[in-house]
């Protein structure tokens, strides 16, 4: 394995992937009653519809409806105590059940990581929440005592507090670094990075609160009462309730839709009530059940996992192309002296060379990458003239071509619209990664979106504060983009990706966190003193672990061959430049040397791409 990661949480995420391979916003009293409703308009992003839902009876029987798979139950097991809670696995291919004595039952790919079944509890367990990583879970007792298992971390409890009313449920934050507890009067207790957004603790309720669900963005939550009254806080949107509907049986659980634009309620007879974009996929309301329903959970939507890499076709050689391009930047003298802190195994090459392109695409394919996002600087640019060769080489290796649309001089929304039409008609490009879209008004992008047509647009912003806060995701959604990507190889810590992707999901956007092995640009831009050390591969591992943990729709790699910024994974070798700087290449990466070291990052990419697809 290479160097040790210093962040324990990221190290746990790395180990998880390794193991794969070996404030009240809307009062309910103002709500209009709704019957179970169909989903709202289809999402902008090419995300699949909800995968359905599960609910569980107190005897451990499980009902799987819609696309939620049935992978087992405890219905035929003699239980010491009744089931009281349920949580779905991250993949949607498994779930856990929790009994009131803290016993845990794991099914499908949900791993058993421990239980409180052998402990003497002060109060019975009443709720459960899964860690977003899929490798941990919490149990909560009615006094607010917390039991943490796997990589779920204990952040505090109300076990030593005198409560006005008992705890009835809990929900985890999008990052997994905190959780909320809710009492039957709607009092909220926040721990870790969970932010208090409001409660009904000071409101006289018609019926007690029976559960809560967190908005996937992590910036809000819903509380549900036994009459189906819904109370929404933070950015959790009120979509309706059953408070004015005569129910056959009381509501016992609530679950948020995967994109956070709706929710389901379940009654003790298995009747389902769906609101917002949470589609109705069936119920057991007309069946005679062996035991009452006590819990509800929903799996997340899953895209086919995809890996993309940013590719730079901007290099030229004097003997082939009539001039040097990019290798000679900052007054360097190729081929022996190049504008990079690393030296390519292939030397100072030409991006117009078909044999070179074929070798590069062979690298990319063998690394488990699906998509080549080729840097493009407008029609007539050098990158445009070599794009036919890039496209042919990618196609010959079974790779899909995408465009990394750069901010060329004179770029506008109108020119982008024309560029997309040109690139789609000539090369059948359907994915466009657009740099720095934030400089244009959202209304301009939205106005052009219908004319741009059936392609996927992912946008990037250099304003990290806006990205982290969710303002950029809101802007991208208003612009009618399909997703966001981060690209930046310097400023994003691995732990940032979970929050970024949470804001994307809240805005109904696809999310592509970009992983990078490191950064150094001093031989290209001497004034740029930023350095992100590779640490023998530890940086790349941590970035991949953070991207996987975030639930990425596409993992993008920065980069295959951006040699100027030292972010490349293309093979490099030890080399001493004329200015006496000696680059070790990738010697020592993941404990390798020689030819194995040259390919170390390609090999590691394959490892992570395989892990990502199997999670």
- Give me the domains of the chain, ranges plus CATH numbers: 8-297 (2.120.10.30), 306-614 (3.20.20.80)
Decide: 229 and 28 in contact? Cβ < 8 Å. yes
Residues 6 or more apart in contact with residue 575 via CB below 8 angstroms: 342, 343, 582, 583, 585
What is the pLDDT at residue 391? 97
84-114 CB burial, b ≥16 within 10 A, e <16: bbbbbbbebbbbbbbbbbbbbbbbbbbbebb
pLDDT at residue 16, as a whole number:
47
Confidence at residue 111, expressed as pLDDT on a 0 to 100 scale: 96
Among residues 202, 206, 194, the alpha carbon closest in space to that of 230 is found at: 206
Which residues share a beta bridge with 108?
94
Closest CA to 28 of 187, 346, 240, 304: 240
Angle separating helix axes 413-427 and 442-452, nearest 10 degrees: 30
Is residue 128 within 8 Å of residue 137, measured between CB atoms? yes
For residue 353, what are its two tokens?
């060379």
CB 98 within 8 A of CB 88: no
Quote the Cα angle for 470-474-479, to 5°: 145
What is the per-residue pLDDT for 301? 57
CA 115, CA 405: separation in Å to the nearest integer?
51
| Extended beta strands in 514-610, E state | 514-515, 519-520, 531-532, 554-557, 572-573, 575-576, 582-583
Rounded Cα gap, residues 326 and 348, in angstroms = 10
Go through 188-225 and write b for each residue having 16 or more CB atoms within 10 A of its CB, e for each that does not.
Answer: bbbbbebbebbbbbeeebeebbbbbbbbbbbbbbbbbb
Three-state SS string across 392-453, please? HHHHHCCCEEEEEECCCCCCCHHHHHHHHHHHHHHHCCCEEEECCHHHCCHHHHHHHHHHHC
Burial class from Cβ neighbours inside 10 Å (0-12, 13-18, 19+) for residue 331 reads exposed
Write down the pLDDT at residue 486.
98
Overall pTM > 0.75: no
8 Å CB contact between 97 and 74: yes
pLDDT value, residue 375: 98
Cα(536)–Cα(368) distance, rounded to whole angstroms? 21
**Sign of the CA dihedral running 142, 147, 150, 154:** positive
Closest CA to 376 of 430, 294, 434: 434
- Residue that the structure tokens 């001497």 belong to: 526
Give how far Cα 614 sits from Cα of 47, 100, 120, 353, Å: 19, 33, 38, 36
Find, among 537, 466, 456, the residue nearest to 499 by Cα. 466
Contact predicate 252/210, CB 8 Å: yes
Q: 513, 490, 515, 488: which is closest to 502 by C-alpha?
A: 513
- Given a cut of 70, the residues of the chain with pLDDT beneath it are 1-51, 217, 259, 301-304
pLDDT of residue 50: 54
SS3 content of the chain, % helix, strand, coil (to 5): 25, 25, 50
- Nearest 5°: the CA angle 301, 302, 306 is 150
């Amino acid at each position: 394995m290479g160097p040790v990661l210093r962040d324990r949480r990221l190290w746990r995420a790395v180990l998880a992937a390794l193991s794969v391979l070996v404030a009240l916003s809307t009062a309910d009293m103002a709500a209009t009653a709704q019957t179970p409703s169909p989903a709202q308009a289809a999402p902008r992003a090419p995300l699949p519809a909800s995968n359905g839902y599960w609910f569980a009876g107190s005897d451990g029987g499980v009902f799987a409806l819609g696309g939620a798979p049935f992978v087992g139950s405890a219905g035929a097991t003699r239980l010491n105590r009744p089931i009281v809670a349920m949580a779905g696995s991250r993949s949607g291919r498994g779930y856990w059940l929790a009994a009131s004595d803290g016993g845990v039952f794991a099914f499908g790919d949900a791993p058993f990581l421990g239980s409180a079944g052998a402990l003497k509890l002060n109060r019975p367990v009443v709720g459960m929440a899964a860690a977003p990583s899929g490798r941990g879970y919490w149990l909560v007792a009615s006094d607010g005592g917390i039991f943490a298992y796997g990589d779920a971390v204990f952040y505090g409890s109300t076990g030593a507090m005198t409560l006005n009313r008992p705890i009835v449920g809990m929900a985890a934050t999008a990052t997994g670094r905190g959780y909320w507890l809710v009492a039957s009067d709607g009092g909220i207790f926040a721990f870790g990075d969970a932010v208090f957004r409001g409660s009904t603790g000071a409101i006289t309720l018609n019926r007690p609160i029976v559960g809560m669900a967190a908005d996937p963005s992590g910036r809000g939550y819903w509380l549900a009462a036994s009459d189906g009254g819904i109370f929404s806080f933070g950015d959790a949107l009120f979509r309706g309730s059953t408070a004015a509907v005569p129910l056959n049986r009381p509501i016992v659980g609530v679950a948020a839709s995967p994109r956070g634009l709706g929710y389901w309620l379940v009654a003790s007879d298995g009747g389902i009530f769906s609101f917002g974009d949470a589609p109705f996929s069936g119920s057991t309301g007309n069946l005679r059940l062996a035991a009452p329903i006590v819990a509800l959970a929903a799996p997340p939507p899953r895209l086919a996992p995809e890996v993309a890499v940013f590719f730079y076709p901007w290099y030229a050689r004097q003997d082939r192309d009539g001039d040097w391009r990019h290798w000679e930047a900052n007054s360097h003298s190729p081929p022996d002296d190049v504008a990079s802190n690393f030296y390519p195994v292939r030397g100072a090459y030409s991006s117009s060379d078909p044999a070179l392109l074929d070798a590069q695409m062979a690298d990319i394919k063998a690394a488990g990458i699906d998509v080549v996002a080729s840097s493009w600087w407008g029609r007539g640019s050098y990158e445009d003239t070599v794009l036919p060769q890039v496209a042919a080489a990618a196609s010959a290796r079974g790779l899909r071509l995408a465009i990394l649309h750069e901010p060329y001089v004179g770029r506008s929304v109108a020119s982008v619209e024309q560029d997309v039409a040109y690139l789609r008609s000539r090369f059948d490009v359907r994915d466009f990664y657009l740099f720095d879209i934030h400089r244009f008004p959202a209304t301009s992008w939205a106005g052009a979106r219908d004319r741009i047509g059936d392609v996927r647009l992912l946008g990037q912003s250099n304003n990290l504060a806006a990205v982290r806060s969710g303002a950029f995701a809101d802007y991208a959604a208003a612009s009618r983009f399909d997703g966001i990507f981060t690209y930046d190889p310097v400023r994003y810590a691995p732990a940032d990706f979970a929050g970024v992707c949470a804001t994307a999901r809240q805005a109904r956007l696809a999310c592509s966190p970009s992983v990078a092995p490191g950064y150094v640009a001093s031989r290209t831009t001497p004034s740029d003193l930023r350095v992100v050390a590779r640490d023998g591969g530890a940086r790349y591992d941590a970035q991949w672990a953070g991207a996987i943990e975030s639930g990425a729709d596409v993992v993008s790699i920065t980069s295959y061959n951006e040699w100027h910024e030292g972010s490349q994974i293309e093979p490099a070798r030890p080399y001493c430049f004329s200015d006496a700087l000696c680059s070790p290449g990738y010697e020592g990466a993941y404990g390798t040397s020689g030819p194995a070291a040259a390919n170390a990052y390609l090999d590691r990419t394959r490892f992570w791409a395989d892990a990502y697809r199997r999670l």
